[in-house]
């Protein structure tokens, strides 16, 4: 029991550290993307942290198996490097028992991943989609930022600027630049503006008062200047969101009742993630065995490549299921293939270890011949 606690602590400490670093990198990259959208006015700054909080479970369900895999490689690898594994094996602890000890943290990680993928992550995805739907349904005036030139809804045809936005939505001095139907640039400058509704149609307009409209091509003298008391600019109507359609945002219970290929692929993908955590544990234990003279990270790169290959094939199988080219059994077939690789490494580990050492020695000898 003492040995189990010691090994479990080594694995868990490494897993938490690796998972934390990977999560920080992923969250930072996504936050920067959302921050740029908020700076351009496409997304309200008030919902940034709320969106990130809802997205974290979805990040964790993918990062945690990788964190467990690297945690075992680092934790067990350190014990091999410092010859502590030699002492443990001299005390009668075989590699099979090491696998059993590693399954403790693995079952914990698989349980967390299962809870995230089956319940928590879909709720977070659902809330995130709803927030984005609300943001998309805002009118162009709702996204205006004082003192900033902005484009609206990703369109480069209209640029707006205002120096004041009142509590009632009224605007101070307004600058608009857009492209007329004839292709000529149009610049509108007004003293004030406000939003107006078009009655039963629901169409929204920006009504500008006391301004000037300029139309013409820069560099040419043929400009049209029109002064106005009121000038109406049609705003893009709010988008009507029909509901949540993304499979990743649907509850697991709804996916189980569905016969749609995309829903079935999403359902079995959620079932596959906890299995992934268990299989990579069986892969990591034999791969963590290193020679102290080779260094701690001798097998790190091949191990990471093997994990990425595993995840890539799983993702490809999921895409094939969505396209209807294969059945859901393909996902579990991928798990069986990598499970057989793990069992091969466990039971034929000495053979593959000797082969790896011979290849490494040959490379060292060739380097020595070259230096001569």
pLDDT of residue 252: 93
pLDDT of residue 370: 46
| Per-residue pLDDT of the chain in tens (372 residues, 90 and over written 9) | 788 888 999 999 999 999 999 999 999 998 998 888 777 666 777 888 998 999 999 999 999 999 999 999 998 888 888 888 878 888 888 888 889 899 999 999 999 999 999 999 999 989 988 888 777 666 556 666 677 777 765 444 678 888 887 777 678 888 888 877 777 888 888 888 887 765 555 566 788 888 898 888 877 777 888 888 888 877 764 443 433 457 888 999 999 999 899 999 999 999 999 999 999 999 999 888 877 766 666 678 888 999 999 999 999 999 999 998 999 999 999 999 999 999 988 887 667 667 767 776 777 777 665 444
The helix or strand, by DSSP H or E, that contains position 346, with its residue range, turns out to be helix 329-347
Could you tell me if 349 and 285 are in contact, meaning their C-beta atoms sit under 8 angstroms apart? no
pLDDT of residue 28: 94
3-class secondary structure, 80: helix
d(CA 278, CA 69): 9
Could you tell me if 23 and 86 are in contact, meaning their C-beta atoms sit under 8 angstroms apart? no
- Alpha-carbon dihedral angle through residues 73, 74, 75, 76, given to the nearest 10 degrees: 50
Which residues sit opposite 160 in a β-bridge?
A: 150, 176
Domain boundaries defined on the chain: 2-136+244-371, 141-234
C-alpha pair distances (Å), 25 with each of 28, 29, 32, 109, 307? 5, 6, 11, 20, 19
pLDDT of residue 33: 85
SS in 3 state form for 233-262? EECCCCCCCCCCCCHHHCCHHHHHHCCCHH
d(CA 362, CA 108): 42
pTM of the model: 0.76
| Closest residue by Cα to residue 4 from 120, 74, 84, 105 | 105
Provide CB contacts within 8 A for 92, sequence distance 6+: none
d(CA 356, CA 70): 20
Scored b (16 or more CB within 10 A) or e, 269-299 reads bbebbbbbbbbbbbbbbbbbbbeeeeebebb
Which residues sit opposite 190 in a β-bridge?
A: 174, 211
Q: Number of helices (H) and strands (E), helices first, in the chain? A: 10, 6
d(CA 269, CA 263): 10
d(CA 267, CA 117): 9
83 in the Ramachandran plot: left (φ > 0), alpha (ψ -120 to 50) or beta? left
Q: Is 66 exposed, middle or buried (0-12, 13-18, 19+ CB in 10 A)?
A: buried
d(CA 174, CA 331): 57
């Amino acid at each position: 029991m003492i040995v189990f606690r010691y090994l479990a602590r080594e694995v868990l400490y490494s897993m938490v550290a690796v998972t934390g670093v990977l999560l920080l990198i992923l969250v930072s990259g996504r936050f920067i993307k959302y921050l740029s959208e908020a700076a351009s006015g496409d997304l309200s700054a008030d919902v940034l942290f709320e969106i990130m909080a809802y997205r974290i479970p979805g990040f964790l369900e993918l990062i945690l198996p990788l964190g467990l895999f690297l945690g075992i490689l680092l934790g067990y690898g350190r014990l091999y490097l410092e010859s502590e594994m030699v002492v443990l094996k001299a005390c009668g602890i075989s590699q099979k028992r090491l696998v059993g000890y590693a399954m403790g943290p693995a079952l914990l990680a698989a349980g967390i991943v299962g809870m995230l993928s089956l319940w928590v992550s879909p709720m977070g995805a659902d809330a995130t989609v709803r927030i984005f739907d609300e943001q998309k349904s805002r009118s162009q005036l709702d996204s205006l930022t004082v003192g900033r030139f902005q484009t609206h809804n990703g369109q480069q045809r209209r640029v707006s600027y205002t120096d004041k936005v009142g509590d009632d939505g009224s605007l101070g001095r307004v600058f608009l630049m857009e492209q007329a139907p004839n292709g000529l640039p149009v610049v509108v400058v007004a003293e004030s503006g406000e939003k107006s509704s078009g009655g039963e149609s629901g169409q929204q307009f920006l009504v500008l008062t006391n301004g000037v409209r300029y139309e013409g091509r820069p560099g040419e003298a043929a400009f049209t200047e029109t002064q106005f008391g009121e000038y109406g600019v049609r705003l893009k109507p709010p988008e009507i969101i029909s509901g949540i359609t993304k499979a990743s945002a649907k509850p697991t219970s709804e996916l189980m009742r569905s016969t749609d290929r995309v829903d079935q692929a999403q359902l079995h993908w959620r079932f596959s993630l906890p299995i992934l955590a268990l299989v990579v544990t069986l892969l990591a234990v034999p791969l963590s065995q290193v020679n102290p003279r080779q260094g701690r990270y001798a097998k790190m790169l091949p191990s990471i490549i093997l994990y990425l290959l595993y995840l890539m094939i799983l993702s490809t199988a999921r895409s094939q299921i969505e396209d209807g080219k294969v059945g859901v059994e393909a996902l579990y077939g991928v798990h069986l293939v990598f499970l057989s690789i793990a069992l091969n490494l466990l039971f034929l580990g000495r053979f593959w270890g000797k082969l790896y050492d011979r290849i490494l020695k040959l490379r060292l000898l060739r380097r020595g011949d070259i230096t001569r």
